[in-house]
């Protein structure tokens, strides 16, 4: 093994021997642990590193050198391609203070609000920014990208519209972004929506067909600006909803969608300081008019109050809603793009409304100057930053001439190309563009040529970003201190263990993170010519090959930009596979009752019908119920979705029988890869099923970023490979940027699931580096170390808290479920009390009440050292003793350290009336004084926040 493996895995050989002894003195080795824990029927017999395509590991220095060589194979030219992706300047303070700061990128989704106030505030800034710019009441805390945000807008419109006559039609502007139109076509097909494309700007509103909704792109893909108010009125008159995909930078000087009749606004915040990254990750957005708040997908930050009545932030309404509503959830999106949303929000905080408007005006002014140089060749006179230029028969030649000067233009057809300017465009580049285009037929504007620009009727006059947070931090000093203030409020992996079950919060090493901010990876446009991205494409090919080998599958697509999208892509592949065989009636998806809630939500969005399979008292799939459900649905069974190890943290020994039962009935087996950290190198998912999604943000070290980015590759066996996601502009399918793909007989939408061809390639070097430094032996060691850590915690805590489920050998997988229901029955102390008291001990709580209410699911991962594991054990044992003290009457049931947890610094410097001393409240553990984490708020009132929904920045006086 390399030295990196020893730094990635927190326990050494001596630690592991003592841990094995604590689990069972009869366990002599890690191999013995695996043999007892994992059923022999699923162990991969041939795990020979020499037979693997994964190369022998190298050290950190060599890994960075190889990544530098890949980056050097990329060629970053100046992009004027547009199509929803723009050059932008990430302020150095934000790059260093957010993107490169482990306090931000190693945090988890803020389900525990008391230790997440910093990023919750940043997300509230994001929501306020989006709501203000779009002129709508409420925005959510980010979407995965613009294209999928539009899809979610369409689905929201279908749920919320009240059309005057029944209709499944959704109208789409023919001038919408091409990748968005493809996504709509693919996703609509699965759920029975008919997409009708129309040139809305040139269509008489009264002639629009009945529809439950309409999409308007503003500005259009061609750059055209127009007033959609009449279209909105016509759609509203028939009970439909209006979705506007809008450019946020344009909205600083162009009228807001809410002022033009939009019910929903969607788009991307990429040009607010987020690198191009060859397509992602970027934070999409969605905002809605008043009355639609409860229809919003994704996450929504709101303002509530804590136990002292002080303002506090929390996730509102939809918190973990898939686990509650399952197949009835508004969306399958679990988390989105928090880290990138924070970057975008800080960009707005830094520049403020005046600075953003200056940037937009500079972009627009240069666009107008270029238009005047091109005269009548400019197709549309009403524009913001994009010019469609007509050069009959010479467009391709002009594009080629520009490319020779390292300028990339968008080729529409033989007669037309487009030029999109952005924040990074210089006056010299405008002059060079004018020189090239006039040499190919354009000519300066003559007297009398209509002006190009923004019509007065579309110019923004309303205020935006009026909250003081957007008008205070103009200097870098102020911004850096503000970011640090927020970071200090939060708990992330740089503070301590985050033992969240089903989340795999492992080390995100600095070496792995280093290439993320390299310009050679970050400044590539996703539709640049493939030869410009040779290094990134080689890295992607490596990852696809390595992941396929590790999982035993035939093919992998990296396009899904979240685990939920990987689920959806896999189920859509299953659906299309059945349809290709004439089995369109196979629409039933069996899902165990213990499954992650996104499984059911994804199945519905893939056009499948969910049938729940029961689990038995051991937490495993109830085989009798499965047999009955398979027999009942033998003719319409599409698939079963199983998680392995199970969501209950157990290696089920019946998985092979489950697979065989479903296959015998003609169904496919979807194995959710959420728990791959318990299998990698020892068990291959492809031996258990037909399709899986993986979570690169769990098993493969991409950080969670406080709730995104994630990457959810989908892996399939050979028979499903033809149905993997593609893209209309897949760089590996065509060598011309912007050219339509050749017809291979597949659907025009190419089974697209993300806006960019490769999803979120900017973060893929993280996983590449992890695999390159670990090698197969290192990965196998990491897996068994993670399993050992979970079993060690289970062994040490089972006398204090029952371990709810174990496997045949009395062992768990990589996580264990501690049952706190007996504790509540005996003492009155709830699982929430324990979770909040852990904050006082300096810990992030494990997963609360999932998959079983009243329990904690604990996953330590391989990265934690023995001292941290023991610190957690000691805290949990001490908390049990505190609960027993309540039961014995030493502390009142309504006034004790658990029900009052967490305790803030301010709470112990005021009048103290509690029956326990201050040091018990805030320093319950030995040695804590030197490393104390102080939560900024006391326990947050969740119900109050939902009853009094406020999802924008509160006024400063609220904190007085």
Do the domain assignments include residue 455? no
Only one residue has tokens 């291979």, namely: 744
Same domain, yes or no, for 841 and 765?
no
Tell which residue, 410, 389, 390, has the closest CA to residue 399. 410
pLDDT at 178: 97
CB under 8 A, 24+ apart: contacts of 26-34 = 30/781, 30/784, 30/785, 30/788, 31/784, 33/784, 33/787, 33/788, 33/791, 33/811, 34/682, 34/784, 34/787
- φ and ψ at residue 683, rounded to 5 degrees: -135, 135
41-57 mean pLDDT: 81
Do the domain assignments include residue 69? no
* 641: enclosing H helix or E strand: strand 637-643
Rounded Cα distance between 809 and 39, Å, is 9
Rg (Cα) of the chain, in Å, rounded?
Answer: 28
pLDDT at 945: 86
Do the domain assignments include residue 13? yes
CB under 8 A, 24+ apart: contacts of 862-865 = 862/8, 862/9, 862/10, 862/11, 862/506, 862/677, 862/782, 862/783, 862/785, 862/786, 862/789, 863/8, 863/9, 863/10, 863/506, 863/507, 864/10, 864/11, 864/497, 864/499, 864/789, 865/10, 865/11, 865/15
- List beta partners, residue 173: 198
CATH number at residue 912: 3.90.1150
Percent of the chain at pLDDT above 70?
96
Number of domains within the chain: 4
The predicted-structure confidence for 930-955, as pLDDT tens digits, reads as follows 899 999 999 999 888 888 888 878 77
Residue 717 · residue 690 · CB < 8 Å: yes
Taking the CB of residue 157, how many other CB atoms lie within 10 A of it? 26
699: its two tokens: 């098993």
Same domain, yes or no, for 41 and 106?
no
The predicted-structure confidence for 445-491, as pLDDT tens digits, reads as follows 777 677 899 999 999 999 999 999 999 999 999 999 999 999 999 99
Angle in degrees, CA 195, 197, 201, rounded to 5 = 140
pLDDT at 869: 98
Q: pLDDT band for position 322 (50/70/90)?
A: very low
Same domain, yes or no, for 819 and 716?
no
Asked whether the predicted pLDDT for residue 416 surpasses 70, the reply is yes
pLDDT at 735: 33
The predicted-structure confidence for 522-571, as pLDDT tens digits, reads as follows 999 999 999 999 999 999 999 999 999 999 999 999 999 999 999 999 99
Same domain, yes or no, for 720 and 842?
no
The predicted-structure confidence for 747-778, as pLDDT tens digits, reads as follows 888 899 999 999 999 999 999 999 999 999 99
Residue 695 · residue 563 · CB < 8 Å: yes
- φ and ψ at residue 254, rounded to 5 degrees: -110, 145
Helix (H, G, I), strand (E, B) or coil at 611: strand
Q: In the predicted model, what is the mean pLDDT of the chain?
A: 94
| Start-end of H helices in 169-309 | 178-190, 229-237
Rounded Cα distance between 359 and 355, Å, is 6
819-848 mean pLDDT: 98
Angle in degrees, CA 759, 760, 764, rounded to 5 = 125
* 410: enclosing H helix or E strand: strand 407-413
Asked whether the predicted pLDDT for residue 327 surpasses 80, the reply is no
Same domain, yes or no, for 43 and 136?
no
Rounded Cα distance between 911 and 558, Å, is 57
Q: pLDDT band for position 326 (50/70/90)?
A: low
Percent of the chain at pLDDT above 90?
89
Q: What is the largest CA-CA distance in the chain?
A: 93
Rounded Cα distance between 956 and 126, Å, is 17
pLDDT at 335: 75
Do the domain assignments include residue 713? yes
- Identify the domain boundary among 347, 379, 411: 347
Do the domain assignments include residue 280? yes
Higher per-residue pLDDT: 731 or 952: 731
Residue 651 · residue 38 · CB < 8 Å: yes
- φ and ψ at residue 74, rounded to 5 degrees: -80, 150
pLDDT at 317: 77
Same domain, yes or no, for 601 and 670?
yes
pLDDT at 333: 83
- φ and ψ at residue 27, rounded to 5 degrees: -85, 110
Same domain, yes or no, for 604 and 732?
yes
- φ and ψ at residue 358, rounded to 5 degrees: -65, -40
Do the domain assignments include residue 594? yes
696-705 mean pLDDT: 96
Taking the CB of residue 881, how many other CB atoms lie within 10 A of it? 9
Highest mean pLDDT among 314-318, 745-749, 892-896 belongs to 892-896
pLDDT at 954: 79
Same domain, yes or no, for 703 and 825?
no
Q: Which domain holds residue 22?
A: 4-51
Same domain, yes or no, for 732 and 830?
no
Same domain, yes or no, for 44 and 175?
no
Rounded Cα distance between 339 and 122, Å, is 10
- How far apart, in Å, do the first and last CA atoms of the chain sit? 56
The predicted-structure confidence for 80-132, as pLDDT tens digits, reads as follows 999 999 999 999 999 999 999 999 999 999 999 999 999 999 999 999 999 99
The predicted-structure confidence for 607-664, as pLDDT tens digits, reads as follows 999 999 999 888 889 999 999 999 999 999 999 999 999 999 999 999 999 999 999 9
Asked whether the predicted pLDDT for residue 361 surpasses 60, the reply is yes
909-916 mean pLDDT: 94
Same domain, yes or no, for 634 and 722?
yes
pLDDT at 739: 36
The predicted-structure confidence for 368-398, as pLDDT tens digits, reads as follows 999 999 999 999 999 999 999 999 999 999 9
pLDDT at 318: 54
The predicted-structure confidence for 161-182, as pLDDT tens digits, reads as follows 999 999 999 999 999 999 999 9
Do the domain assignments include residue 808? no
Tell which residue, 434, 445, 427, has the closest CA to residue 366. 427
CATH number at residue 327: 3.40.640.10
Helix (H, G, I), strand (E, B) or coil at 671: strand
Residue 779 · residue 203 · CB < 8 Å: no
pLDDT at 49: 61
Asked whether the predicted pLDDT for residue 829 surpasses 50, the reply is yes
pLDDT at 50: 61
pLDDT at 598: 86
Only one residue has tokens 């791959």, namely: 676
Rounded Cα distance between 883 and 719, Å, is 55
Same domain, yes or no, for 757 and 877?
no
Rounded Cα distance between 66 and 20, Å, is 38
pLDDT at 733: 65
Helix (H, G, I), strand (E, B) or coil at 279: helix
pTM above 0.85, yes or no: yes
644: its two tokens: 């392995």
293-311 mean pLDDT: 94
Instruction: Report the DSSP pairing between strands 609-613 and 588-592.
Output: parallel
The predicted-structure confidence for 707-729, as pLDDT tens digits, reads as follows 999 999 999 999 999 999 999 99
- List beta partners, residue 170: 195, 213
Rounded Cα distance between 754 and 179, Å, is 9
pLDDT at 745: 56
402: its two tokens: 């520009």
Asked whether the predicted pLDDT for residue 740 surpasses 70, the reply is no
Query: What distances in angstroms separate CA 348 from CA 88, 250, 479, 808, one per listed residue?
Result: 13, 14, 11, 55
Do the domain assignments include residue 931? yes
295: its two tokens: 């229809």
pLDDT at 62: 97
Rounded Cα distance between 907 and 937, Å, is 9
């Amino acid at each position: 093994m390399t030295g990196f493996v020893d730094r990635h895995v927190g326990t050494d050989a001596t630690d592991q021997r003592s841990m094995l002894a604590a689990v069972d003195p009869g366990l002599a080795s890690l191999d013995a642990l695996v043999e007892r824990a994992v059923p022999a029927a699923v162990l991969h017999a041939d795990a020979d590193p020499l037979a693997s395509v994964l190369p022998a590991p190298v050290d950190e220095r060599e890994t960075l050198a190889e990544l530098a060589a890949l980056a050097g194979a990329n060629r970053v030219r100046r992009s004027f391609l547009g199509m929803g992706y723009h050059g932008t300047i990430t302020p150095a303070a934000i790059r260093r203070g957010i993107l490169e700061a482990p306090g931000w990128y190693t945090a988890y989704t803020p389900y525990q609000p008391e230790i997440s106030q910093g990023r919750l505030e940043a997300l509230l800034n994001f929501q306020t920014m989006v709501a203000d710019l779009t002129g709508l009441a409420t925005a959510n805390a980010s979407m995965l990208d613009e294209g999928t945000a539009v899809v979610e807008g369409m689905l929201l419109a279908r749920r919320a519209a009240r059309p005057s006559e029944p209709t499944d039609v959704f109208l789409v502007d023919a001038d919408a972004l091409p990748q968005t139109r493809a996504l709509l076509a693919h996703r609509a097909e699965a759920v029975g929506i008919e997409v009708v494309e129309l040139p809305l700007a040139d269509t008489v509103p009264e002639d629009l067909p009945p529809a439950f909704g309409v999409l308007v792109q503003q500005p259009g893909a061609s750059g055209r600006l127009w007033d959609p108010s009449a279209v909105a009125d016509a759609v509203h008159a028939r009970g439909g909803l209006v979705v506007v995909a809008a450019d946020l930078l344009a909205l600083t000087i162009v009228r807001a969608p809410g002022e033009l009749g939009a019910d929903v606004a969607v788009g991307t915040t990429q040009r607010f300081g987020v690198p191009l990254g060859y397509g992602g990750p970027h934070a999409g957005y969605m905002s809605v008019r008043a009355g639609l708040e409860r229809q919003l997908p994704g996450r929504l930050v709101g303002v509530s109050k804590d136990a002292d009545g002080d303002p506090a932030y929390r996730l509102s309404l939809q918190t973990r809603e898939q686990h509650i509503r399952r197949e009835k959830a508004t969306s399958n999106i679990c988390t989105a793009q928090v880290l990138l949303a924070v970057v975008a929000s800080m960009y707005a905080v830094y520049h403020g409304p005046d600075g953003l408007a200056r940037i937009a005006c500079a972009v627009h002014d240069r666009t107008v100057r270029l238009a005047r140089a091109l005269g009548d060749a400019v197709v549309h006179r009403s524009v913001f930053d994009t010019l469609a230029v007509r050069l009959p028969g010479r467009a391709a030649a002009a594009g080629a001439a520009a490319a020779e000067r390292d300028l990339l233009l968008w080729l529409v057809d033989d007669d037309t190309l487009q030029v999109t300017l952005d924040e990074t465009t210089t006056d010299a580049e405008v002059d060079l563009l004018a020189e090239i285009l006039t040499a190919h037929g354009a000519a300066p504007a003559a007297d009398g040529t209509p002006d190009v620009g923004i019509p007065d009727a579309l110019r923004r006059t309303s205020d935006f970003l009026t909250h003081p947070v957007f008008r205070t931090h103009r200097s870098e000093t102020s911004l850096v201190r503000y970011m640090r203030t927020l970071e200090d409020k939060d708990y992330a992996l740089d503070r301590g263990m985050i033992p969240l079950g089903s989340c795999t919060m492992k080390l995100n090493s600095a070496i792995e993170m280093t290439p993320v901010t390299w310009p050679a990876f970050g400044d590539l446009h996703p539709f640049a010519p493939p030869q410009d991205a040779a290094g990134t494409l080689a890295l992607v090919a490596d990852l696809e090959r390595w992941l396929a080998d590790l999982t035993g599958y035939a093919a992998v697509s990296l396009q899904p930009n979240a685990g939920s999208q990987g689920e959806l892509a896999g189920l859509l592949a299953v659906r299309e596979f059945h349809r290709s065989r004439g089995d369109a009636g196979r629409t039933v998806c069996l899902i165990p009752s213990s499954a992650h809630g996104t499984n059911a939500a994804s199945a519905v969005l893939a056009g499948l019908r969910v049938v729940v399979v029961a689990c038995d008292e051991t937490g495993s799939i109830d085989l009798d119920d499965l047999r009955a459900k398979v027999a009942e649905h033998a003719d319409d069974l599409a698939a079963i979705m199983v998680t392995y190890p199970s969501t209950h943290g157990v290696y089920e020994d019946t998985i092979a029988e489950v697979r065989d039962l479903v296959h015998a009935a003609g169904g496919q087996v979807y194995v959710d890869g959420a728990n791959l950290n318990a299998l990698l190198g020892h068990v291959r998912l492809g031996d258990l099923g037909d399709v899986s999604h993986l979570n690169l943000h769990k098993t493969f070290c991409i950080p969670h970023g406080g709730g995104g980015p994630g990457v959810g590759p989908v892996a399939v066996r050979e028979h499903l490979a033809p149905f993997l996601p593609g893209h209309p502009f897949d760089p590996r399918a065509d060598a011309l940027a912007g050219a339509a793909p050749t017809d291979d007989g597949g659907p025009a939408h190419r089974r697209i699931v993300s806006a960019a061809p490769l999803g979120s390639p900017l973060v893929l070097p993280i996983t590449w580096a992890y695999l390159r430094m670990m090698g197969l032996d290192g990965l196998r060691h990491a897996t068994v170390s993670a399993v050992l850590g979970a079993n060690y915690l289970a062994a040490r805590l089972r006398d204090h808290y029952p371990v709810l489920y174990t496997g045949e050998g009395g062992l768990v997988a990589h996580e264990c479920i501690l049952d706190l229901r007996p504790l509540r029955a005996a003492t009155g102390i709830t699982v929430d009390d324990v979770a909040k008291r852990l904050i006082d001990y300096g810990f992030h709580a494990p997963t609360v009440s999932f998959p079983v209410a009243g329990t904690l699911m604990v996953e330590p991962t391989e990265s934690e050292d023995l001292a941290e594991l023991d610190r957690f054990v000691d805290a949990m044992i001490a908390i049990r003793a505190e609960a027993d003290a309540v039961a014995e009457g030493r502390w009142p049931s309504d006034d004790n350290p658990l029900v009052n947890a967490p305790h803030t610094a301010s709470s112990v410097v005021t009048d103290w009336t509690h029956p326990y001393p201050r040091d018990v409240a805030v320093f319950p553990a030995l040695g804590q004084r030197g490393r104390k984490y102080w939560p900024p708020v006391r326990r947050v009132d969740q119900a109050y926040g939902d009853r009094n929904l406020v999802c924008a920045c509160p006024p400063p006086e609220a904190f007085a």
